[in-house]
Amino acid sequence: MLSVKQQLLAALAGELEQISPGAGSRAAFESPKVAAHGDLACTAAMQLAKPLKANPRALGEQLQAALMATPAFAQWVDAIEIAGPGFLNIRLKPAAKQEVVRQVLAQGTQFGQQPARGEKILVEFVSANPTGPLHVGHGRQAALGDAICNLYASQGWSVHREFYYNDAGVQIDTLTKSTQLRAQGFKPGDACWPTEAENPLAKNFYNGDYIQDIADAFRAKATVEADDRAFTANGDVADYDNIRQFAVAYLRNEQDKDLQAFNLRFDEYYLESSLYTNGHVEATVNRLIANGKTYEQDGALWLRSTEYGDDKDRVMRKSDGGYTYFVPDVAYHIQKFQRGFTKVVNIQGTDHHGTIARVRAGLQAADGGIPAGYPDYVLHTMVRVVRNGEEVKISKRAGSYVTLRDLIEWTSKDAVRFFLLSRKPDTEYTFDVDLAVAQNNDNPVFYVQYAHARICSVLRGWREDYDLAPLTGVDLSALQGEQAQALMLLLAKYPDMLTAAAAGNAPHDVTFYLRELAACYHSYYDAERILVEDEAIKLARLALVAATAQVLRNGLAMLGVSAPERM
């Protein structure tokens, strides 16, 4: 049906151009809000009426007659009805809807994919400092980032997945000291363990059992390997720097295990420390000073960020000489742009909302050709975990939070991904562990996967190996029923849904679509028996359900979720 829709759009554009030069470029169809009104809708008559000083209904009648006289509309459209002040409601012939089945079967995994556009995009996500296991908030970010990458790839972008983290600084210092104390035989609660009364930062000391695991491995002179680093401990509990490097490598290895359990990979790990060692931070600060965008006050260096929409100017270099945390962020994004990524999406928690204005202000003040609004941000809320009707807040392994691996072990990778993507990122979400393992229609991932497995069962009932090649050229004219036509219309919406989801950084749209498609298939299955005696009818119906299974697989793949053939 995609080629059908393109033919109809071309015909509409031609007729709009005749009515008003330049209007053809705005040709578009909408989906009627009420399915009974038609298959496609067009509001062009109402949009053109005012500039043309014409009656919108009369303009609609003119457009109706002109469109039905075109070859494309004559071939594929059953009727055009005028409603209200000039709406055009278009009813397609069954043959037009049937075309989508051929296209899905012919294109397979490529159905919905757009050709390469020759542009690069960098998506930065997870970016957790190596100070502990990944928590469920990181899990939401991982699911979002991977799905958004898949969506952009479906639209022809060359996608680069990047993980940015700090291997130095206050948090790493705290990790190192916590590990060193454990390696020396101490534990939280001992007299030597820092208390908040003695040290305001003591509340940030890491008390989880994983710190003891690191300390034990360090004393054993273990070697740990992560995707981006490897290190061998020397076992000397007095060697602070050796402990630091080992602890970072150990926890990066732990993070890799979490990410592997999630079937997630990154193209690059970028170190915040490299921005200092390579001189990027210093170069950025000097550039802002040279551009006259800074000033000295109270012994600190300030950025004139209010010139770029921030609510107040921001300190860049503190009176003690240290840089505030947004300065390396600015340097990092300058590097992203200089590496050729003209589009960048950062996926972060809502607690990063305040950094957006100052980072963008720094980029504009640097005046390096970076467009306003660079980079894009997708902010997500944290996740509550409920099990047995009660909120779960503590993991023995992490000490103070539920880890991503906990959630995967309690449920499954598929359930975690689908559930964490089933709401808009900025909405609160409660992950119900009991629902995620339930095998019923209330569990959305089970509901969608079961629809796919049910189709595979039907196909096996036809042929055990269910080679789909014989279905690609069958006569589809038997697909006339109401449920069959509704299913075909929904299949045809998949490519546009992907395009809109990518444009809006909205993988939740894919979950909504898949649930709707599964429901539509179940309705069709209940309405029409597929493996009937009549060979022509059977093959047509098998082609339809095979195409539905393909789109379910394609959509689940966008989310990083499997499509089981048996359940």
Question: DSSP secondary structure string, 377-391?
Answer: EEEE--EEEEETTEE
CATH number, position 492 = 1.10.730.10
Dihedral Cα 27, 33, 39, 44, nearest 10 deg: -20
468 pLDDT above the threshold of 90 = no
Is residue 197 over pLDDT 60?
no
With 80 as the cut, is the pLDDT of residue 145 above it?
yes
In a domain, 119, yes or no: no
Quick one: the chain helix, strand, coil %, rounded to 5? 55, 15, 35
Please check whether residues 452 and 367 belong to one and the same domain: no
Q: What does the pLDDT read at residue 3?
A: 80
Are both 363 and 444 inside the same structural domain?
no
Residues 282 and 373 both lie in one domain: yes
Examine the domain organization and report whether 464 and 549 are in the same domain.
yes
- Tell me the residue range of the domain where 505 lies: 440-559
Identify the band that residue 33 occupies on the pLDDT scale cut at 50, 70 and 90.
confident
Q: Do 369 and 473 lie in a common domain?
A: no
Q: What is the pLDDT of residue 170?
A: 84
- Do both 451 and 374 map to the same domain? no
CATH number at 39 reads 3.30.1360.70
pLDDT of residue 206: 83
Q: Is 72 domain-assigned?
A: yes
Where does a domain end: 92, 121, 152?
92
Please tell me whether residues 446 and 362 are part of one structural domain.
Answer: no
Domain ends where: 42, 65, 92?
92
Round the average pLDDT of the chain to a whole number and report it: 93
Number of domains into which the chain is organized: 3
Q: Cα–Cα distance between 311 and 535 in angstroms, integer?
A: 71
Rounded CA-CA distance 378/358 in Å is: 16
Cβ contact 32:41 at 8 Å = yes
CATH number of the domain that 376 lies in? 3.40.50.620
Above 90 in pLDDT, residue 36? no
The answer to whether residue 152 sits within a structural domain is no
Residue 288 has pLDDT above 80, yes or no: yes
d(CA 99, CA 107): 12
What is the spatial distance between Cα 429 and Cα 432, in angstroms, rounded to a whole number? 9
Proportion of the chain above pLDDT 90, given as a percent: 84
Q: Would you say residue 466 lies in a domain?
A: yes
Mean pLDDT within 477-490: 95
Q: How high is the pLDDT of residue 191?
A: 81
**Range in 271-285, 454-468, 495-509 with the lowest mean pLDDT:** 454-468
Residue 87 covered by a domain: yes
Give pLDDT tens digits for 331-369: 999 999 999 999 999 999 998 898 999 999 999 999 889
DSSP H helical segments within 421-534, as ranges? 433-437, 444-462, 482-492, 494-503, 508-527
Rounded CA gap, 72 and 95, in Å?
Answer: 13
DSSP secondary structure of 181-235: HHHTT--TTSTTS--TTT-GGGGGS--SHHHHHHHHHHHTT-EEE-SS-EEE---
Residues 449 and 363 placed together within one structural domain of the fold: no
| Pairing of β 268-271 and β 158-165 | parallel
Domain membership flag for residue 81: yes
- 459 and 368, same domain (yes or no): no
Residues 554 and 444 in one domain: yes
140 occurs within a structural domain:
no
Is 413 inside a domain boundary? no
Domain boundary among 364, 380, 396: 380
